[in-house]
Amino acid sequence: MHINLISDTVTKPTKGMLDAMMSAQVGDDVFKADPTVNVLEEKVAKMFGKEAALFFPSGTMANQTGIKLHTHPGNQLICDKYAHVYNYEGGGVSFNSGVSCKLIDGHRGMITARQVEAAINPPDFYHSPLTSLVCVENTTNKGGGACWDIEELKKIKKVCLHHNLAYHLDGARLWNAMVQKSETPLAYGKLFDTISVCLSKGLGCPVGSVLVGSKELMNKALRVRKIFGGGMRQAGFLAAAGIYALDNHVERLVDDHKKAKEIGEVLLNLPYIKTVEPIETNIIIFEIDESVMTGEVFVDTLKENNVQIIGMGQGKLRIVTHLDYTNLMHEKFLNILKTL
């Protein structure tokens, strides 16, 4: 039995999802004529109380489109130093939009309204880049699946309104946060100009993200997506997976969170584990006491036991639970950890 815990993106479609994909009605989505893509977009827009939505091949492209919509070359966006848009999107912020990032030293990938306010460049001081956008991430990937306090997000919204800044949410794992904190998509839709959500992470789809916003913004996004090469033809096969996942795979995320907590508890009791970051959702970030064992040896030893986990740099290791991590695998993995 191979146990892959490197990411929640490693899942394969379930039988139900495959059936939904195979029976999808499709058309050419570049002509907006794929009925299943249209249903998915309407469904997600409605969930978030937004006018429109657009289906994307990846979370990266959905975020990069959001950034492109809200900025002009030479502008600056504000984000946490851990932000995916800054660290893991290949420098797309500068490549695609000609924008720089003002990085904030936040807590587990989350920043405060006060920090945002202090990071805004005065608009009349023409020596500095013009601040035009604030990007936040929920849950935070590099921050270990941490969930925001929605009250802080509301405070940041006020700052954005006051300073005329756009507000984008990288909600790749927003489903995990909403399930964990009993929050609604509508509450998030009210706060942000654009939100990207991934279908290919905790929800178990093979491909797909959705960007939501106003009709005007999504019309512009359609053009940007085309320029980025993200116009897909019979994409309904993929959208059908998304619809199935939204109907069947959201509530079950609590199971991934429970398993992650249980793994964390076992890790905490191992003599060679230095720290385990608080576990709120499906991501576990921890450090090995390198005076006892290096992270590399730990990863290799797990590999010999058919378990794959991943390093995050700076001595940190990451485990992510997901739809394909079964109860049986969980039992086996906990035993492996206890007997290493």
Ligand X SMILES: Cc1ncc(COP(=O)(O)O)c(C=O)c1O
The contact set with ligand X (CB under 6 A) reads 58-60, 63, 84, 137, 141, 170, 172, 198, 200, 209
CA atoms within 13 A on the CB side of 88: 16
* Rg, C-alpha atoms of the chain: 20
Closest approach of Cβ 137 to ligand X, in Å?
A: 5
Taking the C-alpha atoms of residue 72 and residue 57, their distance in angstroms, rounded to an integer, is: 24
Query: Quick one: 96 or 209, whose CB is closer to ligand X?
Result: 209
Residue type at 39 in one-letter notation? V
User: Of 10 and 293, which has the nearer Cβ to ligand X?
Assistant: 10
Measured from the CB atom, the residue of 172 and 273 that comes closer to ligand X is: 172
Closest CA relative to residue 132, chosen from 83, 154, 99, 84: 99
Question: Considering the complex, what minimum distance in angstroms separates the CB of residue 61 from ligand X?
Answer: 7
Going from the C-alpha of 236 to that of each of 36, 100, 262, the distances in angstroms are: 5, 36, 38
Are 56 and 209 contacting, i.e. CB atoms less than 8 angstroms apart?
Answer: yes
CB of 124 to ligand X, least distance (A): 34
Which residues touch 94 (CB under 8 Å, ≥6 apart)? 100
Phi then psi for residue 30, to 5 deg, are -65, -25
What's the min distance (Å) between Cβ of 57 and ligand X?
Answer: 8
CB of 114 to ligand X, least distance (A): 24
Please tell me what DSSP assigns to residue 31: G
CA 42-47-52 angle, 5° bins: 40
Nearest to ligand X of 56, 244 (CB atom): 56
213 versus 273: smaller Cβ distance to ligand X: 213
- Cβ closer to ligand X: 76 or 200? 200
Q: Find the shortest distance in angstroms from Cβ 210 to ligand X.
A: 11
